[in-house]
Amino acid sequence: MKIVMKFGGTSVGTGENIRHVADSVTQYSKKDYKVAVVVSALAGVTNSLLEIACQVKKSDEKQIDSFTKELLKKHLEAISTAITSKQLQKEVTLITEKTISELEKVLTGICYVGELTPKSKDYVASFGERLSAPIVSGAIRDHKFESQCFTGKEVGIVTDSNFGEANPLMNYTTHLIRERLGPLFEKGTIPVVTGFIAANQDGVVTTVGRGGSDYTATILGVALQVDEVWIWTDVDGIMTTDPKIVPAARMLPQLSYQEAAEMAIFGAKAMHPRALGPVIKENIPVRIRNTAHPENMGTLITKESATNETKPVKAVAMIKDVAMLNVNGTAMVGAPGSYAKVFDVLGKNGINVMMISTAVSEANISIIIKRALLGRAISNLEIALLERGGVISEVTSEDDVAVIAVMGANMKGTLGVASHIFNTVAKAGINIRMIAQGSSELNISFVVKEKDAVDVVRAIHNEFNLDKA
Ligand code: ADP
Ligand code: ASP
Ligand code: MG
């Protein structure tokens, strides 16, 4: 069997956890599995890197020293627990020190220039995985297995220049990975590749979006033509909802690519929303598994949905950090192309539309976008379309909302699901701000105030007995 195994930040949070990762990878190698490892940054490191980058941009140079010292300490502690051989410890420590001193220079540069571009942000964010991968590879070598560590850029993951959310050029990437990693992988060396980071065609570091190590894993899986991609995390698999919200949430043993993608897009953080793209075409199964419970086989994601599932509603999720834009204008009524103008402005300004709803009267469009992009969206719509004779007369917004998505392939054609959902929300005394249902009928999504989102998720989970198979 050939497997790509991805370990998330939660699985490599400490030296002890890294040791456990090396144990399980080498256990599979002993059983003649060929394993390629993809690894995230140590838990919390990417967030802290992005925070410090924002702080030093404000010319606060003093913080750099204490930040890098703390980061070094954290990684040195991990090295001393994860690796026993003094020689290997020394080797990995040297790499770590060198990487952190490079980070120090980058942060100082940002501090002096006083500017943090999407390009430099990606460069800073890349240090988390650049620091974790050598430790994981060292821990595997400590178990007397051959291992070599690579950055996404080194293995040949080439993307466009959409910093922060870059898109891999799959054909070129596949070719390069096969060339650079294929022979080594086939002969049984365990490559450890940094998740999340890649490079554009000029070799400038890019990232494929937050949580993107899952994406790196499926890209590698396709290139190396593996039998399965395993995403190891801190929960048993994809669950009926976030177990942090509903502890009784149940693991879903099997999902179709379409169902799993839908869940990932609508906030099931257990997987990156775009991660399934590469494997769908090649029909490579993906499993979500719990590092702490390797005895469970987790959620299997394949072409087919579970055949014995009859419930119309399978899962419920929520997306926070979104905002609702309301674009109003009687001039939009009956005017062909007026919606196109609105979406054109948003698209040209790099604002992804997550959900829309319109009224038959056509005088209003409600649009859900990422909250961080709200200011940009409003100002650009106002500049482009609000002038005299423009198609819109007013743009309002709400930035304290959340999207709730209720999902399940069996909702298709089942009568009364929508009314049952909305009655449940009404019974909980919560007001719905906007509704959308795609014609695929795989999900019904709606918008509520963010303060009510957790209560809505709990009420729906409970009403539809999602904790029971
Ligand atoms: P990793 O560090 O392994 O990438 P993440 O934090 O990205 O882990 O994703 C795992 C987390 O996703 C879980 O701890 C869980 O709280 C959250 N989560 C949200 N919705 C779901 C869901 N439907 N099923 C499983 N996990 C979910
Ligand atoms: N370290 C990156 C992040 O926190 C990527 C990942 O964990 O998948 O977003
Ligand atoms: Mg993740």
Ligand number with the minimum distance to the CA of 40 = 2
233 Cβ below 6 A of ligand 1 = yes
Residue that is written with structure tokens 């001193």 in the block: 101
Here the tokens at position 74 are: 């954290």
Ligand 2 atom 8: residue of nearest CA: 211
234 Cβ below 6 A of ligand 1 = yes
Strand 434-437 with 205-207, pairing: unpaired
The predicted pLDDT at position 439 comes to 63
Q: Which atom of ligand 2 is nearest to the CA of 128?
A: 1
pTM: 0.92
The predicted pLDDT at position 388 comes to 55
41 Cβ below 6 A of ligand 2 = yes
Ligand number with the minimum distance to the CA of 245 = 1
- For residue 421, the CA-to-ligand 2 centroid distance in Å is 33
How many angstroms from the chain centroid is the CA of residue 290? Answer: 17
Ligand 1 atom 15: residue of nearest CA: 242
Nearest to 263 by CA among 411, 464, 435, 443: 443
The rounded distance, in Å, linking the Cα atoms of 365 and 339 is 8
Strand 286-290 with 228-233, pairing: parallel
The predicted pLDDT at position 440 comes to 67
The predicted pLDDT at position 59 comes to 73
Q: Which atom of ligand 1 is nearest to the CA of 263?
A: 23
Residues making up the chain, counted from first to last: 469
Mean pLDDT by 10 residues, the chain (469 residues): 97 96 96 96 97 88 93 98 98 98 96 93 98 98 98 97 95 97 96 98 96 97 98 95 96 91 82 92 96 94 81 90 90 78 90 86 86 92 74 88 90 85 95 82 89 97 94
Ligand 2 atom 6: residue of nearest CA: 211
Q: Contact at 8 Å (CB) between 261 and 273?
A: yes
194 Cβ below 6 A of ligand 2 = no
Nearest to 412 by CA among 451, 447, 443, 385: 443
8 Cβ below 6 A of ligand 1 = yes
40 Cβ below 6 A of ligand 2 = yes
366 Cβ below 6 A of ligand 2 = no
Ligand number with the minimum distance to the CA of 39 = 2
290 Cβ below 6 A of ligand 1 = no
The predicted pLDDT at position 335 comes to 75
Ligand number with the minimum distance to the CA of 198 = 2
45 Cβ below 6 A of ligand 1 = no
> Which residue from 210, 220, 234, 321 has its CB within 8 A of the most atoms of ligand 2, so it is best to mutate?
210
From edge to edge, which strands make up the β-sheet containing 158-159?
158-159, 197-200, 205-207
The predicted pLDDT at position 389 comes to 62
